[in-house]
């Protein structure tokens, strides 16, 4: 798939338009697929779909396999008879242009609780059969996750490492009684996953039936406060009291002079090797149910990872440690065949990272905003590309192209305009054209760049804990003229 010449758009579902404060998996998602079809795009790329916690980052989720319940579409629940139209918030009352997560989460959870109550009281026989099949198929991850979420509520949403000792340590002596005490809450979280998976798989099926493939995203690490770490602490670098020994991040780079201190727990690779990487294979297998292709964020961590001693305030004082990436991907290929995996190979890329990527013929990433640094040579400039890569105007971590250009150094602006034969006014389309015309098999543009939006439409500013992941698309922006403009460019360059 990725070897064919094609293009697509990056847009996370939370950014979809809609009347209830956050993008959802209802009509707006189907309308966006229709827009992609009109625009002759083959790919819809998204960010991780997991349930978000503190900071609302899709890269810090409560589970590596669960879905985000706040994406569940309320209108579809009305169609199913699980909510009344009068139950829903007044259109626009939760906001239309920026996501207010606190307001949205409170409002949606109350309605989802009502929907679950109605589902159990009057759901159809067919839907309940489907529900029980979902529980059986996903029990291996769903039961620990639902218990984890119920215990978070019991302990006032505190992270698991701040729970009472026996619960923190995952002692069955308290978990058995907890399953009975919290049965209703556990069932609620199971129901949320059932509805999420139903709605998402309907979107994916619609996209696939219309020739659109979904590129998903797997963060290499899981969140410290997640069902994964709580239920599988032996797979992570914790001491005997389940406190982290070292945490993840990256050293100082383009984005930050002090590096990025993510705080994610690091993998304890020895038991993973002993188990032939079963945890990772399960994770990939689950992702390939949800997506057609997967981008693995921070791919370089499979060759070597930056380990920062727990308690450090920045990522400066870390050290590089080796990781068994070759053995991991050999195991995945042996058990699952050749996989549609994209390597996010940005940042400090050493020869061992390139060797790992190329040994499995995985396409890497090129970011055009990084190409026009007049101060140093780089391999992001299009005339250095080979076909097996994806080129982006920018990623979710970049400023919009309009915003990037406005703040770029004068020499970089001059270099960019000379290379693209562009203008300051049309710079977003100039970079899209440059990406589309390159030899890279795949070209992707964030929706913000297709629309030519300024910095305030940026999705994420790395290193800033607040104010991210809030941007939303306006429905009226998806015009036929815009679709035709992108389609014409796509036809012109054989994508």
| Beta carbons within 8 Å of 483's beta carbon, 6+ residues apart | 35, 38, 39
- Asked whether residue 227 is assigned to any structural domain, the reply reads no
397 is an active site residue: yes
- Asked whether residue 244 is assigned to any structural domain, the reply reads no
- Asked whether residue 424 is assigned to any structural domain, the reply reads yes
- Asked whether residue 224 is assigned to any structural domain, the reply reads no
313 is an active site residue: no
Closest CA to 399 of 346, 458, 469: 458
**Host domain of residue 386:** 6-216+273-298+325-355+363-492
- Asked whether residue 249 is assigned to any structural domain, the reply reads no
- Asked whether residue 237 is assigned to any structural domain, the reply reads no
User: Among the options 116, 195, 225, 344, which is catalytic?
Assistant: 344
Q: For residues 218 and 214, give the distance between their C-alpha atoms in angstroms, rounded to a whole number.
A: 13
Closest CA to 151 of 54, 222, 225, 101: 225
What secondary structure letter does DSSP report for 43? E
Closest CA to 224 of 105, 64, 71, 343: 64
Q: Would you state the torsion angle of the CA atoms of residues 469, 474, 479, 481, taken in this order, to the nearest 10 degrees?
A: -60
| Beta carbons within 8 Å of 468's beta carbon, 6+ residues apart | 55, 56, 57, 459, 460, 461
What is the CA 250 to chain-centroid distance, rounded?
Answer: 19
What secondary structure letter does DSSP report for 354? H
What CATH number is attached to the domain comprising 443? 3.20.20.80
- Asked whether residue 222 is assigned to any structural domain, the reply reads no
- Asked whether residue 376 is assigned to any structural domain, the reply reads yes
Alpha-carbon separation of residue 223 from 63, 67, 160, 449 (angstroms): 8, 14, 11, 30
Count of structural domains within the chain = 1
User: Among the options 73, 225, 297, 399, which is catalytic?
Assistant: 297
* Token code pair at residue 141: 């991850």
Q: What's the whole-model pTM score? A: 0.96
User: Among the options 116, 195, 373, 397, which is catalytic?
Assistant: 397
Q: For residues 212 and 327, give the distance between their C-alpha atoms in angstroms, rounded to a whole number.
A: 33
Q: For residues 374 and 232, give the distance between their C-alpha atoms in angstroms, rounded to a whole number.
A: 47
- pLDDT per position in the chain (495 positions), as tens? 577 999 999 999 999 999 999 999 999 999 999 999 999 999 999 999 999 988 899 999 999 999 999 999 999 999 999 999 999 999 889 988 999 999 999 999 999 999 999 999 999 999 999 999 999 999 999 999 999 999 999 999 999 999 999 999 999 999 999 999 999 999 999 999 999 999 999 999 999 999 999 999 999 999 999 999 999 999 999 999 999 999 999 888 766 789 889 899 999 999 999 999 999 999 999 999 999 999 999 999 999 999 999 999 999 999 999 999 999 999 999 999 988 999 999 977 899 999 999 999 999 999 999 999 877 778 899 999 999 999 999 999 999 999 999 999 999 999 999 999 999 999 999 999 999 999 999 999 999 999 999 999 999 998 787 899 999 999 999 999 999 999 999 999 999
């Amino acid at each position: 798939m990725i070897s064919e010449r094609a293009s697509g758009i990056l847009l996370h579902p939370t950014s979809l338009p809609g009347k209830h404060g956050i993008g959802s998996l209802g009509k707006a998602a189907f309308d966006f697929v229709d827009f992609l079809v009109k625009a002759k795009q083959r790919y819809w790329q998204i960010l991780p779909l997991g349930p978000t916690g503190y900071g609302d980052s899709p890269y810090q989720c409560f589970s590596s396999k669960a879905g985000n319940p706040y994406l569940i579409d309320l209108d579809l629940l009305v169609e199913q008879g699980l909510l009344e139209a009068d139950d829903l918030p007044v259109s626009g009352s939760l906001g239309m242009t920026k996501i207010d997560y606190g307001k949205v989460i409170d409002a949606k959870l109350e309605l989802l609780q009502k929907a679950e109550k109605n589902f159990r009281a009057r759901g159809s026989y067919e839907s309940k059969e489907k529900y029980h099949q979902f529980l059986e198929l996903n029990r291996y991850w769903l039961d620990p996750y639902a218990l984890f979420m119920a215990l978070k509520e019991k302990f006032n949403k505190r992270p698991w490492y701040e729970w009472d000792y026996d619960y923190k340590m995952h002692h069955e002596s308290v978990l058995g009684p907890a399953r009975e005490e919290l049965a209703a809450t556990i069932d609620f979280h199971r129901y949320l996953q059932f509805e999420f998976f139903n709605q998402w798989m309907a979107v994916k099926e619609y996209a696939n039936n219309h020739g659109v493939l979904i590129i998903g995203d797997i963060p290499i690490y899981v969140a410290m406060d997640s069902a994964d770490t709580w239920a599988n602490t032996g797979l992570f670098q914790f001491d005997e009291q389940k406190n982290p020994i070292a945490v993840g991040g990256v050293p100082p780079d383009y984005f930050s002079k002090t590096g990025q201190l993510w705080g994610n727990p690091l993998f304890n690779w020895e038991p993973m090797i002993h188990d032939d990487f079963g945890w990772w294979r399960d994770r990939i297998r689950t992702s390939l149910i949800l997506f057609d292709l997967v981008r693995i964020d921070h791919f370089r961590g499979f060759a070597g990872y930056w380990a920062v001693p727990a308690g450090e305030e920045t990522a400066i004082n870390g050290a590089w440690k080796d990781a068994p990436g070759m053995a991991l991907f050999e195991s995945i290929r042996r058990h699952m065949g050749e996989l549609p995996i994209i390597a996010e190979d940005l940042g400090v890329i050493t020869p061992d990272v390139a060797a790992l990527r190329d040994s499995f013929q995985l396409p890497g990433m090129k970011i055009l905003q990084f190409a026009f640094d007049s101060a140093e040579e780089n391999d992001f400039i299009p005339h250095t590309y080979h076909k097996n890569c994806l080129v982006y105007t920018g990623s979710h971590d970049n400023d919009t192209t309009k915003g990037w250009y406005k703040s770029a150094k004068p020499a970089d602006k001059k270099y960019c305009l000379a290379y693209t034969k562009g203008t300051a006014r049309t710079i977003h389309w100039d970079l899209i054209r440059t990406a589309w015309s390159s030899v890279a098999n795949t070209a992707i543009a964030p929706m913000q760049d297709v629309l030519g939006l300024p910095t305030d439409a940026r999705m994420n500013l790395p290193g800033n804990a607040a104010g991210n992941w809030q941007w939303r698309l306006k429905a009226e922006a998806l015009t036929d003229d815009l679709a035709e403009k992108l389609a014409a460019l796509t036809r012109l360059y054989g994508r």
